[in-house]
């Protein structure tokens, strides 16, 4: 199951680097055109996966979830935030509004394909699996565009991203940051950010932790679900517990899991919960 790469033009005038996995039948018809392609694959339920801060679309968790849902008949797509992975944008383009604009562009690219069904039929759904910083952005997007996704699963969401970022800054780092120095938050790819990125996260309009007014529908029908490890060393599990309680959302706690889910059996719990939230045959 080899992923395919493609790009989408961002409204910010750079290319968004994307990757997708297709079920084998759909992949076989990928080079067909017109009616032949429709008969081969039809409208597929689509899962859009959002990676975390300083990560990229090659996330091992995203790959595992995508391959599992792909075997269940989903088209699975992911992409790089600006300044991350294979993005053609540099770190200066990493702002919350640019991220949300890119997410909107990707959704608009995916939705027409999901909606291309015969008159009177139900369009195939578009779901979202969002990790950490990606979960933060997914909740900001949800407030603006609740119609974007049929259901969202947040994995260890950094709902208070400003607080999370501050927790990594020692006194000397903060002094340099406030003094105008750009600090590197990257790993495989340098990610140089200025203090205004932190202040951007803390704007009232960028508060992902505030209540989701009007959507608390009870665990059985809530449009958002959460999975979080109770030993998370990056994002406090208490944030997810409170958010789930305040908004009546289902939450799955993974005992002993930190932010990376590297211990035996932990990744499997994410895959299993994803299968519950995004079931095979979803239409």
Highest-confidence range of 30-39, 137-146, 211-220, by mean pLDDT?
A: 137-146
**pLDDT tens digit string along 154-167?**
999 999 999 999 99
Q: Checking phi first, is residue 214 left (phi over 0); if not, alpha (psi -120 to 50) or beta?
A: left
Six token digits for residue 31: 């080079």
Helix (H) or strand (E) holding 168: none
Burial of 131 per CB tally in 10 Å (0-12, 13-18, 19+): buried
Phi, psi (5° rounding) for residue 22?
Answer: -120, 145
Six token digits for residue 131: 């990790």
- Domains of the chain as residue ranges with CATH: 4-160+209-277 (3.40.50.1820)
The model's pTM is 0.90
Strands 46-50 and 75-79: parallel
Mapping DSSP to helix (H, G, I), strand (E, B) and coil, where does residue 170 land?
coil
CA angle 210/53/176 to nearest 5° reads 95
Helix (H) or strand (E) holding 225: strand 224-229
What secondary structure letter does DSSP report for 44?
Answer: P
Beta bridge partners of 154: 130, 226
**pLDDT tens digit string along 31-73?**
433 333 343 346 789 999 999 999 999 999 999 999 999 999 9
End-to-end CA distance of the chain: 23
Q: What is the pLDDT of residue 215?
A: 58
- How far is residue 54's CA from residue 43's CA, in Å, rounded to a whole number? 33
């Amino acid at each position: 199951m080899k992923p395919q790469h493609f790009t989408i033009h961002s409204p910010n005038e750079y290319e968004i680097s994307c990757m997708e996995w297709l079920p084998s039948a759909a992949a076989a018809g990928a080079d067909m055109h017109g009616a032949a392609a429709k008969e081969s694959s039809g409208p597929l339920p689509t899962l859009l996966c959002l990676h975390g801060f300083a990560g990229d679309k090659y996330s091992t968790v995203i790959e595992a979830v995508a391959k599992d849902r792909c075997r269940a008949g989903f088209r699975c797509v992911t992409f790089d935030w600006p300044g991350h992975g294979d993005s053609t944008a540099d770190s200066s383009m990493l702002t919350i509004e640019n991220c949300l604009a890119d997410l909107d562009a990707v959704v608009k690219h995916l939705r027409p394909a999901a909606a291309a069904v015969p008159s009177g039929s139900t369009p195939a759904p578009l779901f979202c699996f969002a990790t950490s910083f990606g979960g933060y952005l997914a909740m900001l997007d949800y407030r603006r565009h609740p119609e974007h996704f049929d259901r969202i699963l947040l994995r260890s969401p950094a709902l208070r991203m400003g607080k999370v970022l501050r927790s990594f800054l020692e006194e000397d780092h903060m002094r340099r940051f406030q003094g105008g120095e750009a600090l590197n938050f990257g790993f495989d790819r340098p990610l140089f950010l200025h203090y205004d990125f932190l202040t951007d996260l803390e704007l009232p309009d960028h508060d992902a932790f505030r209540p989701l007014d009007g959507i608390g529908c009870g665990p059985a029908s809530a449009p958002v679900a959460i999975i979080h490890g109770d030993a998370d060393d990056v994002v406090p599990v208490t944030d997810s517990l409170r958010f789930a309680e305040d908004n009546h959302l289902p939450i799955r706690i993974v005992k002993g899991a930190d932010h990376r889910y590297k211990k035996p059996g932990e990744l499997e719990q994410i895959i299993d919960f994803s299968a519950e939230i995004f079931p095979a045959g979803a239409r």
